[in-house]
Structure 1
């Protein structure tokens, strides 16, 4: 795969693994519902990312974990794209009530297949002990079935220490769980603004702005041969911006953002088409991160660009996410094929405690004015 597209995919996207366990706090004796759980993944650039999924569990508050299912199988996450999913639990019975945490307990057969076909072990800290934990928010009503989809962004979840075949590949899951019944999707086309040709293999994201105006990537997709894409599993009663900065066949295109797309229960399937202009020359940003991430950490360089999404609607949007690599105690990153523009870069460091809980800290955004053919060096001190 094109190393530029590989970097973009490795970045953008987003690991959504949630909705796996069950606990009974707040339930009423004799009142039960049920839950089915499915696993999906965002597109990525490894050949395979295989997880040995043993058990799916859920809980409420500090109550005990309730088992939803025992899949006991190795699942290739990268096969779960373009509408495909893997069933992890089917109609598991659980007390009615509110649930706020899930976990995925893994076995030992977890691997990553690299672009050259070599297979390396994927280390999963706490995966087979306390499990991979993630917050959720589900209300299960008596006599109903909750249909949960776990959106797992495998490539944003893999951090490399000591890069290379002898390196250590660590799983730092990025997960999101949604109730499919209350979701919609945004579909459309990405094309060349001049030739109108479809752009295949372009990374497209659905983003929201939080209360501070910071962009958050909710879902990631890859355009098909005809330039089409579908961003599914988007909760309704919310608005999303569709953003892309294609790098296709060695050609980079200027980033483009749609106006806000409102998804409602009555109108959950809007369509967005984006035409992007090719650029003749690009620049790059490289740098180091100090201190280097430890085994409990995973870093990401988030690249944002202010884009016009409509009249008086200009915001910073995520156009790339690059995962640094660490070798011999030195952590570095590179963002290639950037169209000339001013970008804001942020270093995010996620740290996983021994009990499986996770915290994230981020640096302030640092501007970098990228010029054609002119590499920029920008170093970060981890927060």
Structure 2
């Protein structure tokens, strides 16, 4: 299978249709049949004990612009529809959705179609969440049942061969709370990755709170994939393309650990063992909060309107590099507010060498210093600094306009 273009893309709600003959739009068909196999996995979810979705089918098309009524859709039907707890699919665990024959050629679109919430009781809901310590609540999935979650992913299916696709669902970024209404909305973020043998594995200390510990591999200040460790502290991040990554360990009540120069090749790179498990210093935590708004001038007054389609990204620039991502979230669907819970203490950094010990040193110059960035469709990004080095929470408003 040959992959081209960006593999990690934000899912958008769009139309999805049934099967049919190819309409010739961007086909590149080379004749013969191959096989498509699809699996589902998940990045860590923040603040939830369970996130359930029910999958009815996966549809693919050779044109990235194909709409619901277009011919050429090929379906992998999940029968019976399968209810999956996404939070059981971290640390490299896969939910196999099945396989289907496909005409050989280039494919540019995948759609994940979910069942509808037709039941009334919490046990019969097709799509629902359970906030940590809370009750099971319906998860609103606008248009997802009929039209599907649209993913752009360019891959080839070769005659007589299998194309392996993993849909990496980021539940933490995909669920948005709607103000104080008690409702939760699914705005899915899904990465489409090839199932390859390379990856990264290792251990974090079990003395840290593992349920609130996240391990991610990053490039250029963006998370490529992430996971949570298991009860032994072991973490596994598979399906990485060949390249060099930064490993970031974030844990509640602890400083951030950063390992630079981690390479992934044709096998899994082992960072360390249990005897050298990563243990980060204890740190107080503080909040960075704010609201994303659009400000306009009306007469002598400035009017601010909540920008509810924005997302906010928190990052930290280490001395001499790199920039590390500390988290991202869609703003509240009603109030456009955001909140990050970040360590006050300095991050600790070590360089990776194959077979060598990790020697961490604190980057004291950047302790408590972060950058908040607002992103919204059709608008330039807004960046503002946030300093919690004094141990106090701060408010950082992000405003477009005057």
TM-score range, shorter chain: 0.7 to 0.9
1:175 maps to: 190
- The counterpart of 2:161, out of the listed 140, 144, 164, is 144
The question of whether the paired residues in 1 share the 8 Å contact of 2:91 and 2:237 is answered with: no
Unaligned runs of 5+ in 1: 1-13, 210-214, 350-358
1:94 and 2:102 correspond: yes
1:271-293 CA-partner distances (Å, limit 9, x unpaired): 256442223x4433221222334
1:305 and 2:319 correspond: no
1:245 maps to: 250
1:108 maps to: 116
1:316 maps to: 323
Q: What is the aligned residue count? A: 330
The question of whether the paired residues in 2 share the 8 Å contact of 1:16 and 1:41 is answered with: no
Measure how far apart 1:15 and its partner are. Answer: 9.1
Partner secondary structure for residue 234 of structure 1: coil
- Work out the CA distance in 1 between the residues paired with 2:318 and 2:255: 10
1:330 maps to: 335
1:200 and 2:210 correspond: yes
Is the alpha carbon distance of 1:160 and 1:277 closer, same or farther for their aligned partners in structure 2, counting shifts above 3 Å?
same
- Work out the CA distance in 1 between the residues paired with 2:315 and 2:215: 14
Unaligned runs of 5+ in 2: 1-7, 118-126, 294-304, 345-366
- Work out the CA distance in 2 between the residues paired with 1:264 and 1:104: 30
Measure how far apart 1:167 and its partner are. Answer: 2.7
Alignment of 1:199-218 (within 5 A): 200-201=210-211, 202-209=213-220, 215-218=221-224
2:287 maps to: 284
- Alpha-carbon RMSD: 2.8
| TM-score, reference length from structure 2 | 0.74
1:49 maps to: 51
1:345 maps to: 372
Runs of 4+, deviation exceeding 3 Å = 14-18, 20-24, 272-275, 359-362
- Work out the CA distance in 2 between the residues paired with 1:186 and 1:78: 20
The question of whether the paired residues in 1 share the 8 Å contact of 2:369 and 2:385 is answered with: yes
- Work out the CA distance in 2 between the residues paired with 1:292 and 1:364: 15
Structure of larger gyration radius: 2
Partner secondary structure for residue 269 of structure 2: coil
2:352 maps to: none
The question of whether the paired residues in 2 share the 8 Å contact of 1:16 and 1:150 is answered with: no
Is the alpha carbon distance of 1:261 and 1:142 closer, same or farther for their aligned partners in structure 2, counting shifts above 3 Å?
same
Is the alpha carbon distance of 1:381 and 1:64 closer, same or farther for their aligned partners in structure 2, counting shifts above 3 Å?
farther
Measure how far apart 1:198 and its partner are. Answer: 5.5
The question of whether the paired residues in 1 share the 8 Å contact of 2:91 and 2:229 is answered with: no
| TM-score, reference length from structure 1 | 0.77
- The counterpart of 1:184, out of the listed 193, 198, 222, is 198
Using the TM superposition, name which of 126-135 and 333-342 deviates more. 333-342
2:257 maps to: 256
- Work out the CA distance in 2 between the residues paired with 1:199 and 1:129: 40
- Work out the CA distance in 2 between the residues paired with 1:289 and 1:137: 34
2:387 maps to: 369
